Amino acid sequence: MDDRFEYRNDREAYSAARVRALEALLIKKGIITDKTVDTVLEFFQTKMGPFNGAKIVARAWLDPTFKARLVADTPKAIAELALPAGMAGAEGEHMRAAANEPGVHNLIICTLCSCYPWPVLGLPPYWYKDPTFRSRAAREPRAVLKEFGLDIPQSIEVKVWDSSAQIRWFVVPERPAGTEGLSEAQLEALVTPESMMGVAIAKAA
Amino acid sequence: MKLQHYLGGLEGLGPVSTETRVFVESWETRIFGIHAAMMALSSQLPLPRTSSTFHTVWTWADLRKGAESLNPFDYFKYRYYEKWLGGISGYFIDKGYISADELDRLTEDYYKDPGKPLPAGGEAAIDDRVVQYLVEGDSPKRDVPVAYRFAVGDTVVVKNIPTVEHTRLPGFLRNKTGTVETVYDGAYTYLCDTGSDGIGAAMPVYCVRFDPAELWPDNAEPNFSIYADLYAHYVEAPASAAAKAA
């Protein structure tokens, strides 16, 4: 018997020690600095993240002509907005938006790995990286969406986009009913990362 | 064939994870940060030189090659960032930046004393370059003359090309027929030359629509389409595919 199917019983403590040892060696050998990792993490907390995508979607809800431009030429439309520098940066050099509409629901997947539009959505959540999700969403998207609590009837067409080349995709969810009086900032708060990848829809608070 | 290339459509896996966190253990943040820094400091990028001693190439392709070379049981066994930790540590050892022994020894030290501080130091220009990479990215698009063999609405057949260590062709699409939905403007390189797999040099990319009923006869949900962005090398005209089969 080999131990292929067993984990160390100190699985997380061991990985934590190992990554700390690796970071320490990389600093000591002059590859990175003592601030590099924190610099990267701060960048994803403040500059690249789903807060940008939420602003883009809220604007699309308020301005149908912006929404049309966003779908037609995603990077150009995003550049109209006052977002942090880097909206065509790492993992967002070539982005494409798929807009939900009555009768069409879009879902973004990456069957080969975890391609994700960093500038507008930040880093991929675990569900997106899960091999089970990546396998099943390509054959039975509605069954998968149901496990996320989203019921998409057969009368609605599902479009699944597999990010296998260098294009990074996100979904523009539909504006929920009952949000007519909300401000742009209030609308942004309704836009979740899951709704911008298609495993959820935006809901009125 | 490698299972990692053929995940699309695999059955019998049970429910999906609905975990919405990006990191489920705080140590995972550190390996992500190291990976992002390596991509930014990678030697092929046209960014300002720094005092960093990193002098080799590290891109997504290198990380993916590691994941694609795993035993498929290990691929499913280990969590996302566990695979990263293994692949990235292995890279630094293989390239001679660190030794396996010193990593093991220091791991023991931090295991016994998790609060032991990290070393201090390093030139600020290194971190400036990391941020510059994140802001500017590394576009694969090239302004070169392009001949588009296919137009929107054309039927294409996905080739069954030899796979070596790395591919961007989802296995479930091999030998399948689809319809061109988008011809992307320009030509796109890939992060490395994938050898007999055939991508790397600038070439068109097509978004191709496939009918799930053809991919998985009598075994796919109705009223849905699956689209994939495919490098031009991966697709051919139906007549070419038929001539090869004859």
**A99-156: pLDDT as tens digits:** 999 999 999 999 999 999 999 999 999 999 999 999 999 999 999 999 999 999 999 9
B81, B105, B138: which is the final residue of a domain? B138
Closest approach of chain A CAs to the CA of B192, in angstroms?
13
Closest approach of chain B CAs to the CA of A110, in angstroms?
9
Residue B89 Cα distances to A132, B4, B21, B34, B66, angstroms: 26, 21, 24, 10, 11
Length of chain B: 246
Residues of chain B contacting A20 with CB distance shorter than 8 Å: 27, 30, 110, 114, 118
Chain segment B76-123, per-residue pLDDT in tens: 999 999 999 999 999 999 999 999 999 999 999 999 999 999 999 999
Our answer to whether residue A113 is catalytic in this structure is yes
Residues 113-152 of A with CB under 8 A from B: 113-114, 122-127, 129-144, 147-148
A66 touches chain B (CB under 8 A): no
Is B98 part of a structural domain of the chain? yes
Our answer to whether residue A114 is catalytic in this structure is yes
B97, B112, B138: which is the final residue of a domain? B138
Pick from A100, A4, A88, A19: which is nearest to A57 by CA? A100
- Contact at CB, A134 and B7, closer than 8 angstroms: yes
Domain of residue B117, residue span: 3-138
Q: How many alpha carbons fall within 13 Å on the CB side of residue B108?
A: 5
CA angle, residues B16, A14, B84, in degrees to nearest 5:
50
Q: What pLDDT is attached to residue B163?
A: 82
Residue B155 Cα distances to A54, B198, B237, angstroms: 37, 21, 7
Q: What pLDDT is attached to residue B164?
A: 84
Give first-to-last CA distance, chain B, whole Å: 24
User: Which of the four pLDDT bands, split at 50, 70 and 90, describes residue A2?
Assistant: confident
Mean pLDDT for the stretch of residues B229-233: 98
- Nearest-angstrom CA–CA distance, B87 and A137: 27
Q: What pLDDT is attached to residue A120?
A: 98
Listed in order, the ranges of chain A carrying CATH 3.90.330.10 are 49-188
Is B147 part of a structural domain of the chain? no
Chain segment A166-201, per-residue pLDDT in tens: 999 999 999 999 999 999 999 999 999 999 999 999
Same domain, B103 and B169: no
Same domain, B167 and B71: no
Closest approach of chain B CAs to the CA of A180, in angstroms?
28
CATH code of the domain in which B215 resides: 2.30.30.50
With tokens 């053929």, the residue in question is B6
Same domain, B128 and B164: no
Is the pLDDT at A205 greater than 90, yes or no? Answer: no
Same domain, B114 and B163: no
Mutation for B interface: A26, A105, A142, A197, most B CBs within 10 A:
A26
Is the pLDDT at B236 greater than 70, yes or no? Answer: yes
Burial (0-12, 13-18, 19+ Cβ within 10 Å), B201: middle
Same domain, B98 and B191: no
Q: How many CB pairs under 8 A join A and B?
A: 320
- Nearest-angstrom CA–CA distance, B13 and B26: 27
Same domain, B14 and B127: yes
Name the catalytic one among A113, A135, A164, A183: A113
- Contact at CB, A160 and B224, closer than 8 angstroms: yes
Is B95 part of a structural domain of the chain? yes
Is B114 part of a structural domain of the chain? yes
CB atoms within 10 A of CB B75: 17
B107, B138, B169: which is the final residue of a domain? B138
Q: What pLDDT is attached to residue A1?
A: 57
Identity at A148, one-letter amino acid code: F
Same domain, B159 and B217: yes
| Bridge partners (DSSP) listed for residue B157 | B177, B236
Interface ipTM: 0.97
- Contact at CB, B22 and A125, closer than 8 angstroms: yes
Chain segment A21-67, per-residue pLDDT in tens: 999 999 999 999 999 999 999 999 999 999 999 999 999 999 999 99
Is B88 part of a structural domain of the chain? yes
- Nearest-angstrom CA–CA distance, B189 and B143: 11
Same domain, B130 and B199: no
Burial (0-12, 13-18, 19+ Cβ within 10 Å), B88: buried
Is B66 part of a structural domain of the chain? yes
Is B65 part of a structural domain of the chain? yes
Is B203 part of a structural domain of the chain? yes
Query: Looking at the domain A49-188, which fold is it?
Result: Nitrile Hydratase; Chain A (3.90.330)
CATH code of the domain in which B100 resides: 1.10.472.20
Q: Using the 8-state DSSP alphabet, how is residue B24 labeled?
A: S
User: Which of the four pLDDT bands, split at 50, 70 and 90, describes residue B245?
Assistant: confident
Exposure string (b/e) for A13-43, b if CB count within 10 Å is 16 or more? ebbbbbbbbbbbbbbbbbbbbbbbbebbbeb
- Nearest-angstrom CA–CA distance, A29 and A27: 5
* Tokens standing for residue B110: 């931090």
- Contact at CB, A16 and B37, closer than 8 angstroms: no
- Contact at CB, B13 and A48, closer than 8 angstroms: no
Contact indicator for B187, B142 with CB cutoff of 8 Å: yes
Same domain, B42 and B120: yes
Our answer to whether residue A155 is catalytic in this structure is no
Closest approach of chain A CAs to the CA of B216, in angstroms?
8
Contact indicator for A111, A139 with CB cutoff of 8 Å: no
- Contact at CB, B29 and A41, closer than 8 angstroms: yes
**What H or E segment, with its residue span, contains residue B160?**
none
Same domain, B112 and B176: no
